[in-house]
Amino acid sequence: MTQDNTTQAAADAHLLSTVDVTVRYDHTHEALHPTSLGFDAGTCTALIGPSGCGKSTFLRCINLMNREIPRCDVGGSIYYHGHDVNTPRENLFELRKSIGMVFQQPTPFRKSIRENILFAPRRHGRVAGRDEADALVEESLRQAALWDEVKDKLDRSALALSGGQQQRLCIARTLAMRPDVVLFDEPCSALDPISTFAVEETIRQIADSGICCVIVTHNMEQAKRVSDRTAFFYMGDMVETGATRQVFLDPQDQRLVDYLTGRFG
C-alpha cells in the first residue's frame, strides 16, 4: 500500500487527518513531502523509520507545534473534527487543550505531584473546588497507571519520582485535560525496560479507552506491541501505511523490507 488517497470526504471520516501536508525548514529544505494519513478515536498509530526521515516533523504538524519554529512552513490541510486547523486563524491555546503531547524526556514541573496534574486544568478554569480537584487527580493518575504508586505522596515533589514514574506523571498531566488525541514523541527512549513496559501498557490502555494515540518510535517491537496501525517514513516520504500486523508481516515497499530486516536504520 502506498500513501493514503485521502480526500476532503475521507478526511471527514477520521477524527484527525492530514492531506498533502508538507514541511519546509528555513523556507527551503522540504523535510516532509506531501503526506496524507487518517487517525481514529480508540486507535494507536506508530510512526516508524530511520533517523531523520521526518517522523517527529510530521508529529509536530498535528498540534501545530512546527509553527513555533522560525522560518518553518507547513503546507497542506490538517483536519480535526472535520475542519482544517492549518490556518493562521487557529487558536493554538484552544487546540492544545484537546491534542496533548508527551515528549522524549519526562518534563514534570518543579511542583508537587498533585499540582502537576492540576496546573493546566486550573489555567483553563476547569476545576471548581477541592472535591473536583481530588477526583481529577485520582482519575488522571489511575489512567496513567500511577495512582497506586503515588496516592500516599501526592504533595511530594514530582522530581522525587523515578524517570519512568515521571513519564507516567507527564502522561497523567496530559490526560487531566481530557484530550481526544495524545501525541507521543519517543516517550520511552529515556527509560529502562521495566519503565518502558509500564508506559507501553499505559499507552495501550489510553487508546483502548477511546483516545486517538500517535507514537513516534525507533523500537520495532514497541510499535508492534502498542499500535493498531503503522506508517513508515523514509527520507521525508510517507512510504507505506496499514494495519501494524500487515506492515510487519507483509511489507510491500522494498525500503520498508530493508528497514525491517536491518539493512539500514
Ligand X SMILES: Nc1ncnc2c1ncn2[C@@H]1O[C@H](COP(=O)(O)OP(=O)(O)OP(=O)(O)O)[C@@H](O)[C@H]1O
Q: Which residues bind ligand X (CB under 6 A)?
A: 25, 31, 49, 51-57, 69, 218
- Please, what is the minimum distance in Å from the beta carbon of residue 48 to ligand X? 9
- SS3 readout for 52-96: CCCHHHHHHHHCCHHHHCCCCEEEEEEEECCEECCCCCCCHHHHH
Q: Take residue 216 and report the three cell numbers written for it.
A: 513516534
- Please, what is the minimum distance in Å from the beta carbon of residue 177 to ligand X? 25
Q: Max CA-CA distance within the chain?
A: 57
Rank residues 61 and 118 by Cβ distance to ligand X and give the closer one. Answer: 61
Q: Take residue 263 and report the three cell numbers written for it.
A: 539493512
Q: Under a CB-based contact definition with an 8 Å cutoff, are residues 107 and 101 in contact?
A: no
- Please, what is the minimum distance in Å from the beta carbon of residue 155 to ligand X? 36
Rank residues 73 and 139 by Cβ distance to ligand X and give the closer one. Answer: 73
CA 42 to chain centroid: 13
- Please, what is the minimum distance in Å from the beta carbon of residue 18 to ligand X? 14
- Please, what is the minimum distance in Å from the beta carbon of residue 233 to ligand X? 6
Rank residues 25 and 248 by Cβ distance to ligand X and give the closer one. Answer: 25
Rank residues 104 and 162 by Cβ distance to ligand X and give the closer one. Answer: 104
Q: Under a CB-based contact definition with an 8 Å cutoff, are residues 198 and 161 in contact?
A: no
Q: Take residue 265 and report the three cell numbers written for it.
A: 536504520
102 beta partners: 184
Q: Under a CB-based contact definition with an 8 Å cutoff, are residues 68 and 61 in contact?
A: no
Rank residues 5 and 28 by Cβ distance to ligand X and give the closer one. Answer: 28
**What is the pairing mode between strands 73-80 and 237-243?**
unpaired
CA end-to-end span of the chain, whole Å? 21
Rank residues 56 and 195 by Cβ distance to ligand X and give the closer one. Answer: 56
- Please, what is the minimum distance in Å from the beta carbon of residue 82 to ligand X? 27
Q: Take residue 202 and report the three cell numbers written for it.
A: 499505559
